[in-house]
Amino acid sequence: MEQRIAEELALLDAKANLRRLPRLVHHGKWVEAAGCTMLNLSSNDYLGLATDQALRQEYLDGLSVDRLLLSSSSSRLLTGNFTVFEELEEELATRFGKEAALVFNCGYHANTGILPALCTPRTLVLADKLIHASLIDGMQLSAATSMRFRHNDLKHLERLLEKYIDSYEQVFIVTESVFSMDGDRADLRQLVALKRRYLDKVMLYVDEAHAFGVFGPTGLGYAEELGCVADIDLLVGTFGKAAASAGAYVVCSQAIRSWLVNKMRPFIFTTALPPLSVDWTLYILRRLASLQSRRDHLTRLSNSLRKQLEALNIPCPSESQIVPLLIGASADALLKAEALQRHGFYLLPVRPPTVPEGTSRIRISLTAAMNDEEMEHLQKVLENLAASQ
């Protein structure tokens, strides 16, 4: 076995796809690696909250000892269901205008547990081709039949529905709202319209991991921005990105929440999040609506960078704060990342199996902590690198 592993690792290395954990020292929005200090554009701290020392200090100043609970020491079905969990879930349900919410330890737990809990052999899952790996794993762990429709191709989805709708008791349409690798967005309004044609037989499952905090008039996500939260049956999001915390949630009906509590294995068999972490999440959630200036700044940065890439004739599918530079070969993506790091930007190559072979890229994750001068510097560097090719 050891020999086989060594051979497989050598093969990954030869293809420039071998991954290693980076050694980093964090200094706010900057990271230090190999003696170099660089602006971190590889995190998911979209609103810059994770590096906001003033916000963190404000929270700590108001923290009482009885809320300083560093471990749940149990699953929520035993003794780990602290009051703050229910406070957070009530706040989520109220803000989204849904019957109920349920909090999980992470987005991976949410997406690998929800579908297996809800699906039977008489269920069909129709999922966008570019959904996150956690959703793919959830589909594979479920008893459902799974099919993929071409990315954002709702005509293809419609044909699959028409062909198979009468062969199954229940159909789930599964998508992300903002896709994690390309930064483009799903047409949620059209998905809702398609779902409505089939009344109760089709349910819509939307992962808002990269939209929560960033979009919407109160920061609740892209579904809020489009006004279609009420028509999404399972709306999932995470707290570990724009909300600068940890964990994930689903907002749904009370019946589905109760079923997940009873049947969802990652929820049942996991020690709950530390209550302190949940308390911090609740603190951020209650301030999310007031952070519009950060969302506006992030939008301006994103629009500026996408406009520049268009002017440089660099293909860019992005419609969000995630802006990929599509490279192709993994070795070329590594070289491009190293060049950008030499110019002071901590950017990393995204390679297979995260993305398909031949589509390796640099994934720029913009943050509201970035200022205009830093954006101008980045754009100048990209311009010079494009000219040198």
pLDDT in tens, 66-84: 889 999 999 999 999 999 9
**Any idea which of 40-49, 137-146, 343-352 has the lowest mean pLDDT?**
343-352
Q: For 21-47, what is the mean pLDDT?
A: 94
pLDDT at 389: 67
Backbone φ and ψ for 341, nearest 5 degrees, come out as -65, -40
Residue range 13-42+291-387 forms a domain whose CATH class is alpha beta
Q: Which residues make Cβ contacts (< 8 Å) with residue 8, sequence separation at least 6?
A: none
Single pTM value for the model = 0.95
Question: pLDDT tier at 282 (50, 70, 90 boundaries)?
Answer: very high
The yes-or-no answer to whether 13-42+291-387 and 67-286 have a common fold is no
pLDDT at 215: 98
pLDDT at 368: 98
Helix (H, G, I), strand (E, B) or coil at 249: strand
pLDDT in tens, 182-202: 999 999 999 999 999 988 899
pLDDT at 16: 87
pLDDT in tens, 283-320: 999 999 999 999 999 999 999 999 999 999 988 899 99
pLDDT at 26: 94
**Cβ distance 207 to 176 under 8 Å?**
yes
Average pLDDT across the chain, whole number: 95
Q: Is the dihedral of CA 3, 4, 6, 11 positive or negative?
A: positive
Domain 67-286 of CATH type 2.60.120.920? no
Is the pLDDT assigned to residue 388 strictly greater than 80? Answer: no
Domain definitions of the chain by residue range:
13-42+291-387, 67-286
pLDDT at 314: 87
pLDDT in tens, 80-120: 999 999 999 999 999 999 999 999 999 999 999 999 999 99
Which residues are tagged catalytic? 44, 132, 176, 180, 207, 210, 241
For the beta sheet containing 123-128, the strands, ordered from the edge strand earlier in sequence to the opposite edge, are: 100-104, 248-252, 234-238, 202-207, 170-176, 123-128, 145-149
Is the pLDDT assigned to residue 9 strictly greater than 80? Answer: yes
